[in-house]
Amino acid sequence: MSMQVPAGDLLQKINSPSDLKQFSEDDLEQISQQLRQYIIDVVSVNGGHFGASLGVVELTVALHYVLNTPYDQLVWDVGHQAYGHKILTGRRDNFHTNRMYKGLSGFPKRTESEYDTFGVGHSSTSISAALGMAVASHYKGEKDRQHVAVIGDGAMGSGMAFEALNHAGIANSNLLVILNDNNMSIDPNVGALKEYFADITTSKPYNSFRADIGYVLSKISAIGPDALKYAKKLEKSIKGTLLKQSNFFEALKFRYFGPIDGHDVKHLAKVLRDLRDIPGPKLLHCVTVKGKGYALAEKDQTKWHAPGLFDKITGEIKKTYYDKPQPPKYQDVFGHTIIELAEQNPKIMGITPAMPSGCSLNLMMKAMPDRAFDVGIAEQHAVTFSAGLATQGLVPFCNIYSSFMQRAFDQVVHDVAIQKLNVVMCLDRAGFAGVDGPTHHGAYDLAYMRCIPNLVVSAPMNEEELRNLMYTAQLENAGPFVIRYPRGNGVMVDWQRPMKALTVGKGRKISDGEELAILSIGAIGNEVVKATAELNNEGLYPAHYDLRFVKPLDEAMLHEVFTKYSKVITVEDGCLEGGAGSAVLEFMADHKYNAEVTRLGIPDAVIEHGEQPELWAECGFDAASIIRTVKNMGITQNRHIIAS
């Protein structure tokens, strides 16, 4: 149950940016303080992303104070920076429902508000989107319209951001890119661009020079009509000399401004007002602190990215304590198992694009720093980098969230599958990702992976199966190998069992039955186990088979199923179009079987955010829905127990 909390006296009066504009610039600091406190108050009792939005409070206030939103287009990147934006744009009273089932989305969402100009759950899309908006406005003759992309420095390291910058520099567009430089995405940033930002920010000669440059240029420009042109050349020359390199953004034909203090709201408002009148592509470099205003979040920014519920006074993160051991998270099973395997096999390497704590590869990065790599927000690079490692006889485990792997589809085809390279692609957050919603649901991986030649596509039903698949994938000549598993906890307390090789393309029978067989793939099969137990209590005995592999299929097992059972249900936590159920139907048609088949899975629709069990129920493949489907298919009650 979400909890409503009161806002500060000034913040209570702001239901839109037009209300914000009624205040004086002197009020902006207090409004920023109240906005920051409101985010702390709400997130501490209701959960959600935390540090990112705290870091851009002043920037958010200044942008909505100066810009004419929503006519002026504001794009956030990544969207977990946008809590303050949501609160200032008419959603304060509903903000306590953030990330809850049927409540506000945790990210900007076009259908939620006209102020949300672009859906931004994945990173590095803002510059491309804002540039498209700017070019469209120019084409339509809307010369007064502003277009602003607020991009975190972690997102700036992605290839797509570079592509957009390269295009924007030659496009005749009214575009402002605001670089939110806090040296963090979720985990600390990596790569040369991070070092470049640090060099600019900390260069004392450059910052000293910047303090006087405006005064000097104003004097020089008064000399004559050509003086300003030479003065600008002088400024660029001095910048390059002081920074020991030409400015990267100016090389791309952006006017570069900064770095400036991203927490000085009055100065931000002044600068934004000035930039509004300068045509062409511009970049404003703001230095901020992720978690600003909450000391613990400033100190440990990764931990406080999305801490869950916490005591805002003591900072104690509230955890549920159990009186007996609980199953681990699947990501932790991966994290511990890859170390165990790597200790036995010196060829194993670990790769992740900016999610080491999210996928638990941080465990290997600490234990074996020369064998585990965070490559930044760069999924395409992660896959092809892994392919390069594989050409030299190494066995890379490339761990990417299922929804993020969509961004590297071509690399999977071109760089891994066609060349038959032994890259092990571990897809975390497969199925419903929960409260992060449709931008993060791993709905499509079974469908988009099983259509690619040379891939093995698998899904473990539990932690032991995950370990066995990881073991199998690193064996000699295993080839391209996909293992997908869900967010959250598994089902086994005793999960650290000795690993063994599995026969690729062989499923398993969980329980025997009569009349009807249920075929499941992956961890959602545990809902089938619950359903069959309940059905057995009522004298109904469907069989249950775990496919384990959707490519290659266990054809011997499927021949058994279609020979013995006249009714079949398939269950998957992936899209029905082209998924595991489709594979089963294709097998049935190809082999001229005739059975009544019902497919359960994610329908052809965008499913919003909510806890996983809520979404399973909504889509009709939780245990209760499976029971209902079995009964609707009309199997006969049978009182004798069938041995497994």
Residue whose tokens read 């963090």: 184
pLDDT at 117 over 90: yes
Annotated binding site for Mg(2+), which residues?
153, 182
Residue 191 has a pLDDT of 59
Q: Which of 41, 149, 157, 152 is nearest to 92 (CA)?
A: 41
Task: Specify the DSSP element, H or E, that contains 525.
Answer: helix 525-537
Is-contact 167 132, C-beta < 8 A?
A: no
* pLDDT band at residue 638 using 50, 70 and 90 as cut-offs: confident
Residue 206 has a pLDDT of 46
pLDDT at 217 over 50: no
pLDDT at 389 over 80: yes
Residue 150 has a pLDDT of 96
Residue 158 has a pLDDT of 86
Distance CA 190, CA 361 (A): 15
pLDDT at 449 over 60: yes
Q: Which of 379, 463, 527, 572 is catalytic?
A: 379
Q: What is the mean pLDDT of residues 104-118?
A: 95
Share of the chain above pLDDT 70, in %: 89
Does residue 145 have an active-site annotation? Answer: no
pLDDT digits (tens, 9 = 90+) for 478-519: 999 999 999 999 999 999 999 999 999 999 999 999 999 999
Q: What is the mean pLDDT of residues 453-474?
A: 98
Q: What is the mean pLDDT of residues 349-366?
A: 96
Residue 227 has a pLDDT of 57
* pLDDT band at residue 215 using 50, 70 and 90 as cut-offs: very low
Does residue 290 have an active-site annotation? Answer: yes
Annotated binding site for thiamine diphosphate, which residues?
80, 121-123, 154-155, 182, 294, 379
The four Cα atoms 67, 72, 73, 74 give a dihedral, to 10 degrees, of 10
Distance CA 266, CA 263 (A): 9
pLDDT digits (tens, 9 = 90+) for 512-569: 999 999 999 999 999 999 999 999 999 999 999 999 999 999 999 999 999 999 999 9
Q: Which of 290, 429, 467, 484 is catalytic?
A: 290
pLDDT at 460 over 80: yes
Does residue 343 have an active-site annotation? Answer: no
Q: Which of 86, 92, 282, 407 is catalytic?
A: 407
Q: What is the mean pLDDT of residues 371-384?
A: 96
Sheet holding 282-287, edge to edge: 73-77, 147-152, 176-181, 282-287, 255-261
pLDDT at 238 over 70: no
Residue whose tokens read 């585990």: 372
Residue 205 has a pLDDT of 44
Annotate 541-559 with b (16+ C-beta within 10 A) or e (fewer). bbbbbbbbbbbebbeebbe
Exposed/middle/buried for residue 253 (C-beta within 10 Å: 0-12, 13-18, 19+)? middle
Residue 268 has a pLDDT of 97
